[in-house]
Amino acid sequence: MIPNPLDLLSLLGGVISAVRPDAPARPTKTIDGATFEQLLEQAKDGQISSELDVSIAADAGVELTGDQLARLAVAADEAQARGASRAIVLIDGMALSFDVQSRRVTGTVPIDQAGVYQGFDTIINAGDETADAKPGTLPLPGQRVTPSNESLLNLLSDQIRPQNQFSQSA
């Protein structure tokens, strides 16, 4: 007969304790004076850079300039901080398929054609070098919409909202 592990532990009684009630509280470790939670928020806001490069898969059929790769790296840091894994990256009029974990462009996405694009959990706007567009990410499903995306939501709601076909005359 094999004894129950809980019974064996009860034989030890108070000899072994996983948590010492008299142990001093462990201080919160900081990096440059910031806690982990603060660093995570800074990364989500794009204030911290991993300084990791992005790459392009050989069969992606995409060529990017140094400036585009730099903007993509910043957007990838933000997407990674938010927990994204696969993204559509909008940059200079292109829509790229991007693996956030490996930081690799894997191809293009034909968003100008009708269709459903599956397997992506975020959209990254890496900006447009010819406009004053700011890089950023759209929220992941279930996340609260930030005020920076309010103009996009207004634009989309105007396209979806049914138009009133009847006018009221006074």
The answer to whether the beta carbons of residues 57 and 106 sit under 8 Å apart is: yes
Separation between Cα atoms, residue 41 and residue 48, nearest integer Å:
9
Task: Tell me what pLDDT residue 78 has.
Answer: 86
When pLDDT is cut at 50, 70 and 90, the band that residue 162 belongs to is very low
The answer to whether the beta carbons of residues 136 and 100 sit under 8 Å apart is: no
The answer to whether the beta carbons of residues 84 and 140 sit under 8 Å apart is: yes
When pLDDT is cut at 50, 70 and 90, the band that residue 156 belongs to is low
Task: Tell me what pLDDT residue 147 has.
Answer: 45
Task: Tell me what pLDDT residue 55 has.
Answer: 94
* 107 against 142, higher pLDDT: 107
The answer to whether the beta carbons of residues 86 and 99 sit under 8 Å apart is: yes
